[in-house]
Amino acid sequence: MTQTTIAVLVGSLRRESINRKLATALARLAPSDVIFTQLEIGDLPLYDQDDDANQADSVKRLKSELLAATGVLFVTPEYNRSVPGVLKNAIDHASRPYGKSAFAKKPAGIIGASPGAIGTALGQQHLRNITAYLDMPTLNQPEAFVQAKDDLFDADGNIGEGSRKFLQGWVDAYVAWVKKHAA
């Protein structure tokens, strides 16, 4: 059986991140031939174009992990109605040097959770601008703007019953999208 591998970029570094928990719980909804791996982005330096010809080891690692993956899943909070700087920093690193992006043609999914009522909708829209420029075929529908309420997760960290059917449908659609666009 061929394995499909999904590189997961979580746009929050905080220990109790809702979005990291969401990324972990979503992976549990995937079929067994699909492996989700959360990539480290907290150790990347601030992007500096002067370093393009001499990328840090952490940047090289991130790029090779992305290049090896079948698809990329962004699970991110919305910061000030946009993408958190830590995620944008990782994207800028992995998209460079010019012509050597690790993202081109990788099928993408975008999802995020926030305690707020619009559940990262505006941050996701900004991210769609970015994935379009990066030439990533990005799942348009279904959209998933997750409002993080107390029952989003059960005691074991799985998606709670109230959201499970909807998010199972989202994962199924994303996995089908990745398989359809696999190189």
Q: Where along the sequence are the contacts to ligand FNR (CB under 6 A)?
A: 12, 14, 17-19, 77-81, 114-116
Q: Which is nearer to ligand FNR, 44 or 75 (CB)?
A: 75
8 Å CB contact between 62 and 39: yes
Q: Which is nearer to ligand FNR, 36 or 177 (CB)?
A: 36
Residues 91 and 131: their CA atoms lie apart, in Å, by: 10
Crossing angle for the helix pair 85-94 and 57-68, nearest 10 degrees? 80
> Cβ 5 to ligand FNR, closest distance in Å?
23
Q: Which is nearer to ligand FNR, 28 or 81 (CB)?
A: 81
Residues 90 and 50: their CA atoms lie apart, in Å, by: 16
> Cβ 12 to ligand FNR, closest distance in Å?
3
- Tokens standing for 129? 């601008």
Of 127, 175, 148, 174, the C-alpha closest to 21 is 148
Q: Which is nearer to ligand FNR, 94 or 111 (CB)?
A: 111
β-bridge mates for residue 82, sequence order: 79
- Where is 88: in which H helix or E strand? helix 85-94
Q: Which is nearer to ligand FNR, 97 or 157 (CB)?
A: 157
> Cβ 126 to ligand FNR, closest distance in Å?
10
> Cβ 98 to ligand FNR, closest distance in Å?
30
> Cβ 8 to ligand FNR, closest distance in Å?
13
Phi, psi (deg, nearest 5) at residue 90: -65, -40
